[in-house]
Copies of this chain bind each other. A is one copy, B any other.
Amino acid sequence: MANYKLMIPGPVDVEDEVLSEMASPVPAHYGDAWMKIYRETVDCLKQVFQTENDLFIVGGPGSAALDASFGSLLATGDKVLIPSNGFFGQRLRAMARGYGLEAVPLDFPLEQAISAAAVEAHLQKEKDIQAVAVVHHETSTGILNPLPEIAAVTNKAGVPIIVDAVSSLGGVPLPVDEWGIDLCITVPNKCLAAPPGISLISVSQRAWEMIESKSNRSHGWYLNLQTWKQYATKWARWHPYPTTMASNNVLALLASLRRLLAEGLETRYARTVKAAKMTREGLTDMGFEMFVEGPHASPLITAAKVRPDMSIAEMARFLRDECGIMIGGGIDELAGKIFRVGHMGKAISPDYIEAFLTGVGDFLQQKG
C-alpha cells in the first residue's frame, strides 16, 4: 500500500531497526529465550514509567487496557469522577458506563485544561466517589492536563487515579511513582515509537487493594487484572500472562525502548519540545493561530486553527497526495476547524517538520 510519512497523532512512523524486529521469525511466547526478552521489555518499561509498580503487557489497543482498569478497579454502581476537556475524556466515560459505573462528569471547555482545584472541590463535595480517571494528554486538542496537581488532590483524598497516558508517556515527563498514579496506561504506537497492537499498564499497591476488595464484579476474564495477577504468579516461569502474547510486537517495542533509554528520557523530551516549537513558529509565520496557547499546550501535537481562506480537508489532501504526508483533522465539533500534527515517533525529526512546513507553504501559494 501507499507509504505516507505519518504526522498524525498516532500511530507513528517508527525507525527501520524497530520495524525490522516486527519481521523476526515468530518467537514462542514462552521458554527461556523468550522470557529473557519479555523480562527486559518489562524492565525497560518500568524505567520509562519511572515505577516499581507491577507492569503488564496486554494484547489489544490502549482502550483495552483502559477498559481493564475500570472493570477491575470498580464494581457496577460505583462512582468514578471523570473530568473531561475533549474526545478522549468522553471516551473514558463511555468505558466506565460500559461496566455500569456512574461516570460523574466534570466538564471543561475544549480550549481549557482540567483544573485540579475543581477536581479537589468535587472530591470534597461528593464523598462517595471511589476513583478518578483522567486523560493526561487530550490528543484531540493538544492540551496537556496538569497531572501532577490532579494526582496530588486525588492522592490527598485517598482515592485511586486511573490515567490515560496513551499519547503522553515517553514524550513528556510522567514519573508514575513520584506523582502517585495508581493505574497508568499507554501504548507503543505514540511516544514509544513502535507499531500498534499491545498496551501497557502499571498497577499500584493501592489499586491492587481496591481490586481485590471487589471480587464479585462480573466484569469478565480477559480484561480482569486479577486474571493477569493470577497468571503472573501461577505461571511465573512459564509465561506470566494468561494468553499467547503478540511476540513480534513486543520485540519491536523492546528495540524502541532500548533506543529511548540510550538517548535518555530528558533528551527525548527536549527533542519533542523543539519539534513542537519549530512547527508552531513555522505555522505562525504563515498566519495560523494555535488552538491552545500557554503552559497547557502540549509539545506532543500541534493543533492549529483553519485560516479563513482555506479548507483543512483540501490541505490534508494536498499534503497527502503531493507531499506524501498524513496529518490529522479535528474530531467531532472541531472537524474542519483545526488540524493536528503529531510530534511523536519519527515525526519529531526536523526533516519531517521541514517537509510539512514546505508542503503547507506550497499549498497556500498554489491556492494564491
A-to-B contact residues, CB < 8 Å: 1-4, 6, 8, 10-14, 19-20, 22-29, 31, 33-34, 36-37, 58-64, 66-67, 70-71, 76, 94-95, 97-100, 187, 189, 195-198, 216, 218-224, 227, 242-249, 251, 320, 326
Q: Considering the chains assembled together, what is the distance between the CA atoms of A320 and B31 in angstroms?
A: 10
Interface-centre pick from A33, A196, A222 (highest chain B CB count, 10 A):
A222
With A63-B221, A242-B63 known as contacts, the answer to whether A249 contacts B249 (CB < 8 A) is yes
Q: Considering the chains assembled together, what is the distance between the CA atoms of A98 and B217 in angstroms?
A: 8
Q: Which residue of B lies closest to A248 (CB)?
A: B195
Decide if B1 touches A37 in the complex (CB within 8 Å). Answer: yes
What is the CB-to-nearest-CB distance from A73 to chain B, in angstroms, rounded to a whole number? 13
Decide if B19 touches A222 in the complex (CB within 8 Å). Answer: no
What is the CB-to-nearest-CB distance from A69 to chain B, in angstroms, rounded to a whole number? 11
Decide if A196 touches B246 in the complex (CB within 8 Å). Answer: yes
In the assembled complex, which residues on chain B have CB atoms less than 8 Å from the CB atom of A4? 27-28, 33
Q: Considering the chains assembled together, what is the distance between the CA atoms of A197 and B195 in angstroms?
A: 11
Q: Considering the chains assembled together, what is the distance between the CA atoms of A97 and B221 in angstroms?
A: 8
Q: Which residue of B lies closest to A5 (CB)?
A: B25
Decide if A218 touches B219 in the complex (CB within 8 Å). Answer: yes
* 22 pairs of residues in contact across A and B, judged by CB atoms under 8 Å: A1-B33, A3-B27, A14-B26, A20-B23, A23-B23, A26-B195, A31-B326, A61-B243, A63-B221, A64-B64, A66-B222, A98-B218, A98-B222, A98-B227, A100-B216, A187-B244, A189-B244, A195-B247, A196-B247, A197-B246, A220-B220, A223-B223
In the assembled complex, which residues on chain B have CB atoms less than 8 Å from the CB atom of A98? 218-222, 224, 227
